[in-house]
Copies of this chain bind each other. A is one copy, B any other.
């Protein structure tokens, strides 16, 4: 596992007793897959979580984490369940990305998957490539390993969505710890958008939205002047959104 707790392996959690079910018409199988992004502040780069497959097809290759949707379980709930199993974290930002249903995307049979993307912040958690027993690891999104199934496409779509959405929805904060210096926020935007931003203009713009609360804390353990830490005022954002405000970087 990537984080401290020891959740069960994900791809094996189909729970119901193996009692056959019969339908008049053939049905595709239904799964969820997860594109879990994290931002590495120190690199800085965007990472994606991948799982090394223990079974065929694509045994030994890397793939997005995911699993079957149980009957009677909401699709989004299935995604959240898988996400918690993989990361051990609750309250993670999660949204549906899209559904991938080409009949040949899984060589075994027709498997339709509902892809989601999630944003986590790494806090104090160590991030390293290729960690432990479960063979989950973080990879740079710009240079991932060969991926199983149509996961390259899904990853690409997720990245496109993130890049577009981050400009007009305050998603960036989901990738940072609750309190962060402005430099981290700028660095995140620069990484996601793939271009440099002017420091003064960036600070001016983000501060005059009046959505960041200045805390009385400052950075620790930095070898230079410590920056003030800010937190995002989500409640205020929600209120302003209802009144027609548009976040726009």
Contact = CB atoms under 8 A, between A and B. Distances in A.
Given A22-B21, A23-B27, A112-B30, A99 B99 contact: yes
B30 A25 contact: no
A26 to B, nearest CB: 4
Contact of A112 (B24, B69, B102, B103): B69
Contact of A18 (B25, B73, B75): B25
A68 B25 contact: yes
A120 to B, nearest CB: 22
Contact of A103 (B16, B26, B74, B114): B74
A107 interface: no
Contacts of A78: 101
Interface string A58-77: 00000000001111111110
A112 B78 CA distance: 13
Contact of A21 (B23, B72, B103): B23
Contact of A27 (B71, B74, B102, B114): B71
Given A18-B24, A28-B69, A71-B28, A114 B99 contact: yes
Contacts of A100: 75
B96 A74 contact: no
30 contacts: A16-B26, A19-B24, A20-B22, A21-B22, A21-B26, A21-B27, A22-B23, A23-B23, A23-B27, A25-B71, A26-B70, A27-B29, A27-B71, A28-B30, A30-B30, A69-B101, A71-B103, A72-B103, A73-B103, A74-B101, A74-B102, A74-B103, A75-B101, A75-B102, A75-B112, A76-B101, A96-B98, A98-B99, A99-B114, A112-B114
Given A20-B24, A98-B98, 15 more contacts: A14-B25, A16-B25, A19-B24, A20-B22, A22-B23, A23-B27, A26-B71, A27-B27, A27-B29, A28-B69, A75-B100, A96-B98, A96-B99, A99-B114, A101-B114
